[in-house]
Structure 1
Amino acid sequence: MTVRSGAGKFLRENLLLIATLLGVVLGIGLGIGLYFAKPGDTLLLWIGFPGELVLRAFKLLILPLVVSCVINITASSSIKANGTMGGLAMLYIVTTNLIGALLGLLFVVLIQPGSSDQEGGGSGGGGGGGEPPSQTVYTPQLQNGSTVFVRQNGTSRGMNILGALFVSVLFGLATSAMGSRSAETFREFFDAVTRATILLLSKVIWCLPLGLMSLIAKSLAEVQDMEQTFISLGTFIGTVVAALTINQFIVHLAMFLAFARRNPFPFYWKMMKAYLVAFSANSSVSALPVMLECADNAGLRPRISRFILPLCCNTNSDGSCAYIAASVTFLAQLTGTPLSFGNYILIVFLAGVSGLSLPSVPSSSIIVIIGILSNLGIPDAGVSLLYTGEFILDRLRTGCNTWSHCTCAAAMDARIPQSDAEKAESTVFVEEGGVTSNNSRDGDVHSDPAQRIETSETTERHDRGDSVDSDAVPLERSGKEPPSAITSVQV
């Protein structure tokens, strides 16, 4: 009975994941069968019809989701109220998001996982031996007519994500600067829009398994070289893993050393539990209580950790930004769409800024990828192929995001000076033969809360001539937030 109930609970909690994986497997199998069957265009159109409906539903929700999230984040009063700490935190978040997007793009541009060797071989194969190709030369003739100038539109149809982001940031900053009741009402309106859009998205996402099966089957049936397609997908997955590894173990360590200026390995070891929870739950928001607990054990000040970590869970997504930029560039290579240097800059910027407003839903990066593809005019027919490696890549970038949250909290704890109130309320730790300050770092701070007592109580007991019991139960200060308290998280 216990095993059966446990299996039922597992199925209920992971039903969408299981259905999505099943849709991917069925789509690959159906696509391989259709590839060898060579069906007509009409049949392929009907096979891809359910997936096209799901894609259009995602496109419908992209613009209101991005606009409402960006306005809600930039208009948040908590960032303004915390002054220097909020400004430094947002500077760190935006910088790491852009660095992550740049890493993802550079790895795909250098490795070229979506480029086919057939294109390069076809162009260079005719330059060997043999006679040179013949060429027809036309002699110029006088024009017997007039020149007609045709006006061409310099714009292209698509979603203007960049303009929407710019206007949303302006409105959010203006709302934050107002600070009145009407500004709070304005922010609450867009908060309600965000929640309503996420609710609709959570309903639409249940159609994802059927849509994936449809899109993957249609995409594989239309490819010219099945083997080359799977090689490109495998190379792309390895490229993203390499970019996330560099970002997590080099960029984050460099950030930690630059700001905290101490040995990073004891700190990251104490935050390992939060990383594992985020990796398994596939959500950094779900791991927030564990992150706060690990931050207390690592010696971070509660005033810092309880502001920085919830803020990072909503805005800091450098791992997701790396994946978004890499995916857009990969799909451009796969579809043969040329990209200029300006397009690369736009991809990095859009991926970095979009990382500030990713919703807390599974595979939310795919939604942003669709919007950027539409903005750049890149065909989105190959988006379904990204889901073949989504199971592991989604968890890897979630873990990378969690690592970045912890690094930001440690950096702010090292750079934000301790206030007078914190110095007055500092707790002392009684050890064998001495007292150590709460400002001690990883190796010097007691992890056992039973050894914590108040300064005033210790002084009073010494005045009475009583001995201090190091195993005494800690006395909590009135009005102080307990370490396990969690600030509200806006999702």
Structure 2
Amino acid sequence: MATPELQSTVEASETGEFESVSCGKKFRKGLKDNLFTILTLIGVAGGFGIGFGVGTLNPTQEAITWIRMPGTIFIRLLQLTVLPVIAANIIVVMARMDLKENGKMGLATIGFVLGFDLLSGVVGVTIAALIKPGLSTTLRVNKTETLGKNDAPVTTSDVFSDLFLNIFADNIIGLAIYQTKTIRVWTYFPITNVTEAVQTRLESTDMIGLIFTSIAFGIASGAAKEHGKVFVDFFDSLGDVVLILMRWFLLATPVGVCFMVAGSVVDLKDIAGTFQGLGLFMGSVLLALAIHMLLQMTVYMLASFRNPFRLMFMGFKVFFLSFITTAPVVAIPEMLETCDRYGIDKKVSRFAVPFSVALKGDGSGVFQAVACVFIAQQTGYNITIGTYVIITLLVGFATLAIPNIPSAAIVIIITILSSIGVSTAEVSLLFAVEWIMDRCRSGSMGVGHLFTVAFAQAVAVGRPRKNGAPSGEIFADSSARYSDDFITLSK
């Protein structure tokens, strides 16, 4: 018969073995659930290693093109699925929505998007006016450099005319192919030279027109009752199929982001000097983005009486995908699933997510506002209160007018500076840090879209249902789906 001391020793040993096995299982489960995220982080680190390593060899432009190729293909595959996902979800939601009952949800979404698009200019201008980053930089541009040979800066009137022409598109197929854009070219006369406005077609999806057209078709199909049921069912099925396809493409994220990062840094020159000369400008942008995010969190907290940090933590995957790819739109599947886990009504998320992604560009607005004040300060322009007000208003409205396309932020900055009479030659300084600033504002906008949806839910429906994952399981649940797909494909 075992003594009490021996029995207690055996029990302690068994308990220790059980705890050891339990910890081992938890570790393996955590590793399995977060495999996708871990591989993506490895891809980011590998991208920096490849980019800086190859950059020391002075590669040719042809070599750089092929280094960027896998990342370019990855983004193209994701962009392939964006248009049908947005159109299908908006059409289905609008068709099945009771406008009298759910009108508050639409107004809340639109109000949040417009409000923070306009507020982005206020935040950016205020931070830049207080910190004055343009007075500290030592970098200068060769005045013989130009941003274009024969192109003249467009006017504010041109920007807003493009906005209305793109909203009311004249070709459904053309929505997916091009958008209207006004350019100004010099016309030379013997005595004087003038600029002439010319309407052109920019090869890019007309996202604003797509939203308007999808809403119109959705309302019309809902009004058609039974006759529109087949139409709505088709787009419902299309949305589900394309989301599955997008998730498959997202499995290539570790490889895609590796070469995207490598392509971004491979041809960078004098990084230390650039960061030293533009460090205060970059810090001003990051501070403005942080304050803007805190304002969104505060508004949501006041509307819902819930802790906004929980939603931010759940949105880490959305931030990460948006940051790495510089395109919040490719994180739409993750946004939708994050909203589902948070307990947001699917009718709200399926409308508000595509709407916000297409029209909410407040992160870019913050960057543009800081950049405009920075350039004006750097060139010695006499800035008055009126100048700050004009920049604030133009940034807010132009953020809606010009969609989120590559270098669109630079186009807006040039337009605004031209409107207030500031030289645009110094704008080329911004290209040195555009690669990292673009990622920062994209990540911020990705999380901001989640707060748009959560705010619409709080105003229209009430507090989200408490059916989300426990706080300790949020991050694991976010990437477990992709990790399981990785493991399945590897067998």
SS of equivalent residue, structure 1 residue 85: helix
Amino acid at match of 1:164: D
Relative to structure 1, the CA distance from residue 163 to residue 442 in structure 2 (aligned partners, 3 Å threshold; closer, same or farther) is: same
What is the one-letter code of the residue matched to 1:350? L
Shift of 1:188: 6.1
Tell me if structure 2 keeps the 8 A contact 1:321–1:355: yes
Do the aligned partners of 1:158 and 1:377 also contact (CA within 8 Å) in 2?
Answer: no
Summarize the Cα distance change of 1:380–1:172 in structure 2 as closer, same or farther, 3 Å threshold: closer
1:303-338 Cα offsets, whole Å, 9 max, x none, are 111111111111111111000011011011111122
The residue that corresponds to 2:289 in the other structure is 244
Instruction: Report 1:456-475 matches (<5 A).
Output: none
**1:408, distance to aligned residue in structure 2 (A):** 0.5
The 1:171–1:283 alpha-carbon spacing in structure 2 relative to 1, beyond 3 Å, is: closer
Higher relative contact order (CA 8 A, sep 6+): 2
Q: 2:119 aligns with which of 61, 83, 99?
A: 99
Counterpart of 1:311 in structure 2 is 355
Cα separation, 2, equivalents of 1:357 and 1:287: 23
Q: 1:417 to 1:383 in 2, by over 3 A?
A: same
- Conserved in 1, the CA contact under 8 Å of 2:379 and 2:423? yes
From 190, 196, 203, the equivalent of 1:198 is 203
Q: Aligned equivalents of 1:444 and 1:113: distance in 2?
A: 43
Tell whether the 8 Å contact from 1:315 to 1:358 is kept in structure 2 after alignment. Answer: no
Q: CA deviation at 1:252?
A: 1.8
3-state SS of paired residue (1:310): helix
Check 1:260–1:22 CA distance in 2 against 1; reply closer, same or farther (3 A cut): farther
Instruction: Say if 1:411 and 1:380 are closer, same or farther in 2 by CA, change over 3 A.
Output: same
Residue of structure 1 in register with 2:426 after alignment: 382
Identity over aligned pairs, percent:
26
Given the alignment of the two structures, is residue 348 of structure 1 paired with residue 392 of structure 2, yes or no? yes
Paired residues of 1:331 and 1:382 also in contact (CA < 8 A): yes
* 1:260 maps onto 2:254 in alignment: no
Q: What letter matches 1:247 in structure 2?
A: H
Q: Which amino acid aligns with 2:127?
A: F
Other structure's SS at 1:252 match: helix
CA distance in 2, matches of 1:399, 1:293: 17
**Alpha carbons 1:79, 1:86 under 8 Å: kept:** no
CA distance in 1, matches of 2:457, 2:442: 23
**What aligned pairs does 1:62-81 form with structure 2 within 5 A after superposition?**
none
Deviations 1:437-460 (A, max 9, x none): 994454789x99xxxxxxxxxxxx
After TM superposition, the structure 1 = structure 2 runs for residues 178-189 of structure 1, keeping only pairs within 5 Å, are 185=170
- Give the aligned length: 307
Is contact 1:259–1:415 with CA below 8 Å preserved after alignment? yes
TM-score by length of 1: 0.52
1:89: how far off? 1.5
Instruction: Write the letter of the residue equivalent to 2:456.
Output: M
For residues 94-243 of structure 1, the aligned pairs below 5 Å read: 94-115=114-135, 159=153, 161-168=155-162, 175=168, 185=170, 192-194=177-179, 196-198=201-203, 232-243=277-288
Q: Distance in 1 between matches of 2:278 and 2:297?
A: 30
Kindly state the Cα deviation for residue 164 of structure 1 after the two structures are TM-superposed: 3.0
**Cα displacement (A) at 1:398:** 0.7
* 1:408 partner letter: T
Compute the displacement of 1:245 (Å).
1.4
Q: Take 1:360 and 1:351, find their aligned partners in 2: how far apart are those partners?
A: 14
Q: Map residues 361-372 of structure 1 onto 2, 5 A cutoff.
A: 361-372=405-416
Is the contact made by 1:100 and 1:321 (CA closer than 8 Å) also made in structure 2?
yes
Distance of 1:240 and 1:117 partners within structure 2: 15
What's the RMSD between the two structures over aligned residues? 4.7
The residue aligned with 1:403 is 447
Write the distance in 2 (CA, Å) between the matches of 1:230 and 1:295.
Answer: 37
Query: What SS does the corresponding residue of 1:339 show, helix, strand or coil?
Result: coil
Whole-Å separation in 2 of the counterparts to 1:231 and 1:439: 48
How far apart, CA to CA, are the structure 2 residues paired with 1:193 and 1:294?
31
How far apart are the structure 1 equivalents of 2:376 and 2:428? 14
Q: Pick closer, same or farther for the CA change 1:336–1:256 going to 2, 3 Å.
A: same
Say which SS state the counterpart of residue 336 (structure 1) adopts: coil
User: How many angstroms does 1:286 deviate by?
Assistant: 1.0
How far is the alpha carbon of 1:275 from its aligned partner? 1.4
Cα pair 1:319 1:400 within 8 Å, conserved:
yes
Cross-structure match for 1:63: none
Corresponding letter in the other structure for 2:346: P
Equivalent residue for 2:73?
none
Q: Shift of the alpha carbon at 1:380?
A: 1.6
Change (3 A) 1:117 1:169: closer
Quote the residue 1:56 is aligned against.
none
Distance in 1 (alpha carbons) for counterparts of 2:399 and 2:112: 13
The secondary structure found in structure 2 opposite 1:99 is helix
User: Gaps (5+ residues) in structure 2?
Assistant: 1-38, 60-86, 139-150, 181-200, 206-262, 475-491
> Partner residue of 1:320?
364
Distance in 2, matches of 1:279 and 1:391, equals 11
Q: Is the contact made by 2:106 and 2:456 (CA closer than 8 Å) also made in structure 1?
A: no
- 1:277 and 1:442 map into 2 onto residues whose CA distance is 21
TM-fit CA distance, 1:391: 2.6
Look up the equivalent residue of 1:235 and give its one-letter code. L
Where is the helix percentage greater, Structure 1 or Structure 2? Answer: 2
Partner Cα separation in structure 1 for residue 344 and residue 442 of structure 2: 22
- 1:255·1:407 contact (CA, 8 Å) conserved in 2? no
Where does the alignment leave 5 or more consecutive residues of structure 1 unmatched?
1-5, 27-72, 119-156, 176-183, 201-208, 218-226, 419-436, 449-491
Are 2:361 and 2:404, in contact at CA under 8 Å, matched by a contact in 1?
Answer: no
**Equivalent residue of 2:134, what SS?**
coil
User: Which residue does 1:42 correspond to in 2?
Assistant: none
For residues 376-395 of structure 1, the C-alpha deviation after alignment (integer angstroms, 9 at most, x for no partner) is 22212222211222232111
Between the aligned partners of 2:467 and 2:350, the Cα distance in structure 1 is 18
